[in-house]
Structure 1
């Protein structure tokens, strides 16, 4: 049988017989171990075939009789007769599990349809159909017991599994070569049986010079290992001029005719079709970090401020990334620095500094961005990003390095090439940001939705006249699987700006409009992000690292003057315009509350600090004070109080932190009081209802007795 046919057969069997929907409606249904072999899962729990399909075992018969549902009766039944209930075997001993919840126990799971003894062996009654001889395989492999036999374990380093249905991943490793050997046996080590489909081991041509794509260069030459000496963990002998070993390319870089049918060069050529880059007036300048050590930290933001040409006005029309170390580069942002503020001194220019998320200071007007998967950007229209004599004179470039393995010896000198022209377009452009910065994704979710609204009252404040959006893109991390940005006008859906029905962090989609989409003051812009957290055992929060999550949309628009402040993200249901423009939310003047210690603000703070004890017990006078403030003061209610708490920590406001700790000293007691009050209200209402029911029952009993 040809190997292609064999692999297709395996895939077909897996899809046809796994019954994943049944596994999802049983506690730990995806992780029932095979009783005869460690690290193997019995996928068809209700079948005699471990892969599913065919005849049912006794648990499968009981499951069918229960309507293929996890019922209390099925849970308490001992289908295989080994003295443990089905619930005890599947991690739900109290029979309280519901689909979508985590079972009360996630380990020590056993098979409810295979009778096993206390020592783990299969009962005699089931030995006839549980084939342990096959599963025990290598235990009877005599060559493994020979004294001359050696062994080596080859494992992938811990690697993120892409959020795709099918992925083939490979790793080349060295074999012992001091003498000749015969490979006599191999045994799998399955770390994640939820995704592993098959493993194939290939021997590499001992001449080491295979040319897979037939373009006259060996795979080693194309991948930077021309002498075939690279080992995992080493740096290849060449890090530049890398080419694709699976795509035949000619000396001029074009794709061979044989591969043109499947390589989409229209997309891959990106900036090669950027006409403005070919105009004789167009100038370019490459801005790169000096070679800089990448910190051995999962997430680092580093910035560098540099001068822009300022002898006259220019429009930035295109930019192209120069990625020196793709192992760490997550994204690059370019910010213009406010020309009305004092310029950064020369001695601080072209110096790399840690900067956090955002370049900070006066350099806060985004004019360009690159993320993994983007070829760069080219503007083709009546607009450009202005800099020079009457525009930005300095800019900041921000790197996000992602180093989850915390490698200590990596360096990077990436950057961007800016293409700009003195041939000014009719409009200045800018970039708007929308989305949600409060994210808490529960673990184990098939789909979890987060929404960020740029409310109509915000666009009335921020957008001074109509703007025209000509480009947009979505941004989430690895849990993101679907995202869109929609515009509502007068409360009714108007248009869609982006729609990634299948989002892939590593392959971002750019939406370009042949006709710009007009957005008006008073429109509502809604950013919706959906996440799949089945792979996470804990809550995932908003954050910088790719193991955290984000929910942002970026939209380029013109004219820039019509929206001077172009950030309209949200924190829960609080829009940024409330925070930074009006500095007020539902009558809470949060900025005064946090930073201006006068009048009403001073009264509230003094009252709390006088009656409450930070890090102490809940005092009765404190609780009385807080009950009034939490009920009446607009800055101590709901989301805005939670935001003030968070900002006090982020901004390291010691005075506000002391106030928050004092106010929280009675938090548990007040929550308990509220719970008891609700319980009392429920009981009062319930007593009335129960009294009515009792009267009816009494009437019926009397009526029956009289008859």
Structure 2
């Protein structure tokens, strides 16, 4: 999964986390792109160094000589491609100093790799840079009983948007109606690596509506809620533990499959076409257990700009694991999911107050290259156990606040696991919003709050609550005499009681439900003390890209998705 043999080690690089040092010492150190892997950043794992290094890369020797970013180093052209190091790293005037924001953040290029990539004049200089992303190895898919099913989008124009989620459904006509199948692995086919970030496959029941052409989808389609496979940038594929598989087929209640793409197009180009997909490996030789996905982590994130370290934690408590689990389950794989501000992450397993082990200890986290931890033998998770998720973010090059959201440049904090038996968890998620535990989500409501109702703009109960506040309170001015009583009445509703009010507001922000929502929450605050410290999400600037602030059903309503994953 990681880069290997990319460049010889610099004398300055002494540990596997040395690249973190270089990120802090140069402008846009956390934005250096990989020269031959579109959509990847050069994170430097193990002994890799994003600035180059060793005798075949002059920037490395230059940096070893200067030890820090100086005007002299800035004005050098270390890779000999005609651009100074400063021009490549967003400091063309050589004025950047550690701890400040660079002059430019767009158009950053690699100062230690010759451009243009692949040209004759750069071939010798770049011979140590690998463009490989890893090979898919899965012995279980090579037997005679395994059927290969390749699902691909038809050639589709990529919208000129920073983040797009696009869905398309496929009928399972190739499967026998009276047979049950296990999905035991998948391998990606990436047609346009410039935009593709992740793919999610979900199973659809008979209530689902087929999508006969690719359509923008900010939520998983109704009736398509069972996550079956996930691919994200940097993963060669997924190979399920030999004793488990994901149930598909009509006997399993899955009549079609939905494929969701996450496209990233930060330059909003209009000429991109994509026809990517997945090859699914399916067998009628059922394995011993049915598999499923499990999610834990934090959904309330506010990360200020210019911060070297922001720590967010989430606890899936013993009470929650008892609530969501009917019996012990066994974790087969696990990986972390943050976005580009992600720095370090780990999920820890505790039992009876004692730590048993680390599950996903990423000392160096990379959004573009997730490390998948395979547990062999699988790890037992019991009702009453505790899962602690810790996410560390770094925003030194970001000039705006990042919040939780599905956009590529929003943020997430999740641990994602596959487990068996699937039947042991009816609701396979255990996430928090700040200190609010959300494990009692039953598909429609949380802590007595009907989430679907509160998002339905035609629901009479929702409209009565909104009218009560908007008719009696001033969203843009002072406190009206009749307002406190109106607010007190509305706060008796489970969706607006205590911390649930903040959670409801944050979730509605992510869905981007219109100006009436902003007015409603502003009016709800109109009688609060002016010097009262605010924790309400509406006091923070919105992040995300326009229509794509909406979250998926998996991450907002706590069903099973992924990155962001989106991603």
Query: Is TM more than 0.5 here?
Result: yes
| Structure number with bigger Rg | 1
- Please say if 1:15 is aligned against 2:67: yes
Structure 1 residue aligned with 2:307, among 445, 457, 469? 445
Cα-Cα RMSD: 3.9
Cα shift at 1:13: 2.4
CA contact (8 A) 1:302 1:399 kept: yes
Q: From the superposition, tell whether residues 499 and 574 of structure 1 become closer, same or farther in structure 2 (CA, over 3 Å).
A: same
Structure 1 residue aligned with 2:229, among 350, 359, 368? 368
The DSSP-based 3-state class of the residue aligned with 2:416 is strand
Cα shift at 1:212: 5.1
The DSSP-based 3-state class of the residue aligned with 1:368 is strand
The DSSP-based 3-state class of the residue aligned with 2:499 is helix
CA–CA separation in structure 1 for the residues paired with 2:352 and 2:102: 53
- Please say if 1:328 is aligned against 2:276: no
Q: More strand by proportion, 1 or 2?
A: 2
Matches within 5 A, 1:68-467: 158-159=106-107, 168-172=112-116, 204=120, 268-271=134-137, 274-308=138-172, 309-311=175-177, 312-337=179-204, 339=205, 341-344=206-209, 348-356=210-218, 358-391=219-252, 392-467=254-329
Q: From the superposition, tell whether residues 159 and 524 of structure 1 become closer, same or farther in structure 2 (CA, over 3 Å).
A: farther
The DSSP-based 3-state class of the residue aligned with 1:397 is strand
CA–CA separation in structure 1 for the residues paired with 2:95 and 2:58: 22
Greater RCO, CA 8 A, separation 6+: 2
Structure 2 residue aligned with 1:644, among 488, 499, 504? 504
CA contact (8 A) 2:438 2:446 kept: no
Deviations 1:75-119 (A, max 9, x none): xxxxxxxxxxxxxxxxxxxxxxxxx9x9xxx999xxxxxxxxxxx
CA–CA separation in structure 2 for the residues paired with 1:316 and 1:297: 33
For residue 39 of structure 1, what is the aligned residue in structure 2? Answer: 93
Q: From the superposition, tell whether residues 413 and 527 of structure 1 become closer, same or farther in structure 2 (CA, over 3 Å).
A: same
For residue 47 of structure 2, what is the aligned residue in structure 1? Answer: none
For structure 2, which runs of at least 5 residues remain unmatched after alignment? Answer: 1-53, 71-90, 535-567
For residue 509 of structure 1, what is the aligned residue in structure 2? Answer: 371
Deviations 1:441-471 (A, max 9, x none): 1111111112233333222221111110011
Q: From the superposition, tell whether residues 605 and 445 of structure 1 become closer, same or farther in structure 2 (CA, over 3 Å).
A: closer
For residue 342 of structure 2, what is the aligned residue in structure 1? Answer: 480
Matches within 5 A, 1:570-589: 570-580=432-442, 583-585=445-447, 589=449
For residue 12 of structure 2, what is the aligned residue in structure 1? Answer: none
Q: More helix by proportion, 1 or 2?
A: 1
CA–CA separation in structure 1 for the residues paired with 2:96 and 2:513: 52
CA–CA separation in structure 2 for the residues paired with 1:343 and 1:634: 30
CA contact (8 A) 1:470 1:512 kept: yes
How many residues are paired up?
A: 453
The DSSP-based 3-state class of the residue aligned with 1:578 is coil
Q: TM-score, normalised by structure 2?
A: 0.70
Cα shift at 1:642: 1.4
CA–CA separation in structure 2 for the residues paired with 1:305 and 1:5: 48
For structure 1, which runs of at least 5 residues remain unmatched after alignment? Answer: 19-36, 45-99, 109-155, 174-201, 214-218, 220-244, 248-262, 676-707
CA–CA separation in structure 2 for the residues paired with 1:466 and 1:626: 44
Deviations 1:259-315 (A, max 9, x none): xxxx899x93332xx222210111101000000000011100001111222431111
Deviations 1:309-368 (A, max 9, x none): 24311111110000000000010011112x3x4243xxx344211111x42311111111
CA contact (8 A) 1:648 1:657 kept: no
**More off after superposition, 514-523 vs 404-413:** 514-523
Q: TM-score, normalised by structure 1?
A: 0.57
Q: From the superposition, tell whether residues 628 and 407 of structure 1 become closer, same or farther in structure 2 (CA, over 3 Å).
A: closer
Q: From the superposition, tell whether residues 583 and 160 of structure 1 become closer, same or farther in structure 2 (CA, over 3 Å).
A: farther
Matches within 5 A, 1:667-686: 667=528, 670-672=529-531
CA–CA separation in structure 1 for the residues paired with 2:276 and 2:453: 43
**More off after superposition, 489-498 vs 321-330:** 489-498
**More off after superposition, 286-295 vs 471-480:** 471-480
- Please say if 1:623 is aligned against 2:489: no
CA–CA separation in structure 2 for the residues paired with 1:593 and 1:288: 35
**More off after superposition, 475-484 vs 611-620:** 611-620
- Please say if 1:565 is aligned against 2:435: no
Matches within 5 A, 1:516-595: 516-580=378-442, 583-585=445-447, 589=449, 591=451, 594=454
